Amino acid sequence: MSSADFGKLYQVSNEDIDTLYYRNMLPPKFRKQVDTLDECVWLYRRPTLEATNCLKAVGVNVPNLRMVLWGRWGTGKSMTVFQTIYYVWKQGWIVLTIPNGEFSEKTWSCITFLERI
């Protein structure tokens, strides 16, 4: 992915959605759209590129990188996380997501560990 891809739509296969357990983790409105249309298509945005570039820049021998996404409610933080997780997973990284136990129709919080192998 590069800056030339900004604004383009990207389709994620249903198999990948199920493998990453996204059907239960995506934001409720987007999850409903995925279920209704039986496809997951998202817009590639700058925050996803910035997050993936940060992760790619970290060497294997560097201590854990911690990233915090912040912003007002509804600005795309969750989608940036899911797009970043998907991208690094496709690159062969190990992805471990631990829910914090607060699952509701409005919000779903988690801690995600990404490890390059």
How many C-beta neighbours within 10 Å does residue 109 have? 11
Report which of residues 34 and 62 the model is more confident about. Answer: 34
Q: Considering just the CA atoms, what is the radius of gyration of the chain in Å?
A: 14
* Average pLDDT score over residue span 75-97: 84
pLDDT in the model for residue 11: 93
Number of domains in the chain: 1
Of the chain, the percentage scoring pLDDT greater than 90 comes to: 14
pLDDT in the model for residue 116: 63
pLDDT in the model for residue 12: 93
Q: Three-state DSSP class for 108? A: strand
Report which of residues 108 and 27 the model is more confident about. Answer: 27
pLDDT in the model for residue 36: 93
Q: Domain containing 12: what range?
A: 3-115
* Average pLDDT score over residue span 63-72: 76
> What are the φ and ψ backbone dihedral angles of 46, each rounded to 5 degrees?
-55, -40
Report which of residues 9 and 100 the model is more confident about. Answer: 9
- Rounded Cα gap, residues 105 and 95, in angstroms: 24
pTM above 0.75, yes or no: yes
